Amino acid sequence: MPAVVEEAPVSTSARWLGRILSGLVILFLLFDGAIKLVPWPVVTETMDRIGYGSSETLARTLGLITVACTILYTVPPTSILGAILLTGYLGGAMASHLRIGSPLFTHTLFGFYLGLMVWGGLWLRDRKLRTLAPWRR
């Protein structure tokens, strides 16, 4: 018989902190995706500086990917899949900044900071994830 795993309790304050962290990430990523869907000139200029050219098609594609992954992260049954996909997306952004020599703590590691917020917010608000990846004392 499979072992029964007891779900880790989540305090109300931890759950709310997780919701707030996740909410901030969701708002930021939806805004980021939306400005790429338009795409605003600042988006295409930045993409050109990073080395991807000023392609509006690429900007829209990245915007669509950002919004789709964020929506997956927002919906509880698909939130872990969304977090995994966002981790990959943010890793690509970090690699792009590292390649062109962007400032480490403000630009290159921004994706890392955002990724910590993605997983931290999810871990605080999702009992099943807390059971799967418990914090040991």
109 φ, ψ to 5°?
A: -85, 0
> pTM value?
0.87
Could you identify the residue written with the tokens 């901030």?
24
Tell which residue, 3, 2, 1, 12, has the closest CA to residue 127.
12
- The reported pLDDT for the residue numbered 121 is 97
Residue 98 carries which side chain, given as an amino acid letter?
L
Tell which residue, 106, 117, 92, has the closest CA to residue 27.
117
All residues at 6 or more sequence positions from 64 whose CB lies less than 8 Å from its CB, including other chains: 33, 37
Residues of the chain with confidence (pLDDT) below 70: 1-10, 136-137
